[in-house]
Structure 1
């Protein structure tokens, strides 16, 4: 529970947080109030949380403050030191740089797997032969489904070991269109779209754009499907990827996870056009990843950032389909 709370606090934008909000974060962990209270008092003792005296404390014991100031400096130092200690004991091939930008809970979730990968590397070094994902998965952590059904592929990409593990992907091949007239270009632009309707709407305009390919992402399938990209599109030169999905929390999460393995930027012209339409209510069950949202908003204008924040505060979203086919094609041609 501690890592869940500290992870939330690290990405929290305000300087103070109410006790009620801390309780809401902890509810999903299934722990008792006593366990929760002891943890909050521990965070007080560590200097991470500081009581706002003017708000007072609860009558219920252990007594907690109704409001706390957050010491971000100590939080960041604690996470940084934990990663530095891990770096000194794990195999040198395991790159932890990504974790300095990710919520601490991600490192905590990955740590048991990192330890097993480190033990494998210390014993065997890097593998020489290409083998199917279930075989390599079992060798690494003792679970043949870790890569195909679990988070194995994303983790290996996160620590810069996916290519070195020489895995034969078992994901479905990509559905894409290629403008062969651009195959000799030294720079290739690729547009990934989340939904099939958008893919079909944009396809006729591909030859009129600067883009070499149009790729159908099919929701989260793109996270595995991109493993086939260089085999399906064996083009030399530089590759630049852009992603356009529904303007909702899940669409942003997909982009964020995809950008961990390839340098995929949000397709801002499409997103900005979506924001000129009225948002709709729904999709309240989507998981909000603050860091993913913050990284996504960095690419937007201040005006669009505000629109997105207000939209999510209302529990609204914008599907790709708000852009009609002719609008999609005009935006792409005039990128």
Structure 2
């Protein structure tokens, strides 16, 4: 009956009809007596509660035409089930987070967790790092599961992401190096959203205290930043990332998504320089990510001005700053960073 209880747990409605219970428990062609026995057992366990106003069958044994599902009882039973699975699974598989989540999340994850359990039992922990599709195929028999099927989130929930030695498959970072300081213990990195800004700043990279200039290529940076440690393996250094993008809803959302992956500081001098110019009108059809804007506003002093600007239907592309202005800002700001003034 575990399968049927799981289906009751997943059900969004709080009531269920006798006809729906019939399909759930026995499909078509089942004997009424068997169905009634199952339903009455769930009544005794207080999982199903008869809706009296819906009436009862005249057949023996008599059952209600409609039932209310006792979700709190199912939740308690679910916690007992979680404890049972914890005792059965490999000790490295952590189920703690599911106690505070809706049961359906665990029930959806369970088939994959069971396959991972089999993998750990038969193979053990991987010794070499491999691309995500290869590890995905080995774990659950689906090469797209980690990148496209929510597999990474499942592995993070059960505490196995870091030990599975997975190399994310994404576009490589497009970046230039400042060879003069690439081995310094303090490493600064500037990410810019657009190609025009990247090309304008590239000639003076060696004149700054930055180790890299990274071309974000719009939304691509959110995935490609995962490649940073592989492409720039200076592990003992302290890495600080700055970001400069368009001052519009899309640009702020990119920064926020990137900041969730790796702490990234808005490059305030560039943003302040944009705000000193006349704004552009338009881009009113962009998705409004309220949380992203709130995070951006609190991340730098000129944030409130940005919020007001967007509400008025204005924006700034990075191209509002000329190449000469971009270079001058980076030179001056760069040395202020090194001297602890920015």
Distance 1:204-1:127 versus aligned 2 partners, 3 A rule: same
- Answering whether residue 257 of structure 2 is matched by residue 257 of structure 1, we say yes
Q: CA deviation at 1:113?
A: 6.8
Q: Which residues in structure 2 correspond to 1:40-189 (within 5 Å)?
A: 93=94, 118-119=113-114, 122-124=117-119, 127-128=125-126, 129-138=128-137, 143-148=142-147, 162-189=161-188
Distance 1:270-1:234 versus aligned 2 partners, 3 A rule: same
* 2:14 corresponds to: none
2-structure distance, mates of 1:322, 1:110:
46
* 1:11 corresponds to: none
Instruction: From 303, 313, 323, give the equivalent of 2:321.
Output: 323
**Structure 1 alignment gaps of length 5 or more:** 1-84
2-structure distance, mates of 1:108, 1:266:
39
Q: Which residues in structure 2 correspond to 1:161-310 (within 5 Å)?
A: 162-235=161-234, 236-301=236-301, 304-310=302-308
Structure with bigger gyration radius: 2
Corresponding pairs, count? 239
TM-score (norm 1): 0.60
1-structure distance, mates of 2:152, 2:293:
22
Larger relative contact order (Cα-Cα within 8 Å, sequence gap ≥ 6):
1
Q: CA deviation at 1:201?
A: 0.5
1:206 match: secondary structure: helix
1-structure distance, mates of 2:217, 2:331:
23
CA deviation vs aligned residue, 1:23-77 (integer Å, no higher than 9, x gap): xxxxxxxxxxxxxxxxxxxxxxxxxxxxxxxxxxxxxxxxxxxxxxxxxxxxxxx
2-structure distance, mates of 1:252, 1:160:
30
2:144 match: secondary structure: coil
2-structure distance, mates of 1:213, 1:281:
33
Farther off after superposition, 270-279 or 142-151: 142-151
Distance 1:171-1:275 versus aligned 2 partners, 3 A rule: same
Q: CA deviation at 1:320?
A: 0.7
